[in-house]
Amino acid sequence: MKIKNIINNIKSILLAIFIALLIRSFIAEPFNIPSGSMKPNLLVGDFIFVSKWSYGYSKHSLPFSFPIIPGKIFSKIPNRGDVVVFKTPQDNKTDYIKRVIGLPGDKIKIINGSIFINNNLILKKKVNDFIDIDKQGLTKRVRKYLEYFYNKEIEVLDITDNGIVDNTSLFSVPEGYFFVMGDNRDNSQDSRFINVVGYIPIENLVGKAQFIFFSLENSRFLEIWKWPKAIRFDRLIKRIK
């Protein structure tokens, strides 16, 4: 009788693991934000849900990018302005999160920090500075702009007028690829750095960032005793724009 109970418990555990893997692979997966490249919209310590169905499925939808899905199935092109998680093409295993700026066939150029897509200037206006707080609790003011990006209004940061990618050559996005940038424009390694990140293959898309479900300031998730002071309550269940 005890052996039967043990077997039943094992079956229940395996079934639960299988269901969890299905949800993680095909419905939604949690991620945490480890860097400030998407400030002011995503902060270090944010925990987000990413929908896996938004752009179709590839091997990168599965744990450890297990290669049982050939190419991309049910593929759908993201919209400009979507915040996406993808595997970097350099190693096909590191997760990055950035904003889609250019689609296949787009021609993109950065001039004095302003984005031109197919010769059209993306307009922006200066708004109140972003108050950034580092791990030591020190604050600094960073210039913030409201960017009118097609049908979206996006808050972006611009630390300096002469960043190394504030003026670029022309980028021509190949078919089957897309072009991404971080919202923290002077503090993001993204498609502007061709030899580091470059253009992102469609099959490397993991999913679309949908909302922040939890957020901690200067604390790790398992440090539960720090939660009362560390939880950013104003960021809980917050939609990602």
Annotated catalytic residues are: 37, 98
Q: Which residues contact 160 (CB under 8 A, 6 or more apart)?
A: 166, 186
| Closest CA relative to residue 140, chosen from 229, 39, 216, 232 | 39
Longest dimension (CA), the chain: 75
User: Roughly how many angstroms between the first and final C-alpha of the chain, as a whole number?
Assistant: 55
106/173 Cα distance (integer angstroms): 5
Cross-strand bridge partners of residue 114? 111
129/127 Cα distance (integer angstroms): 6
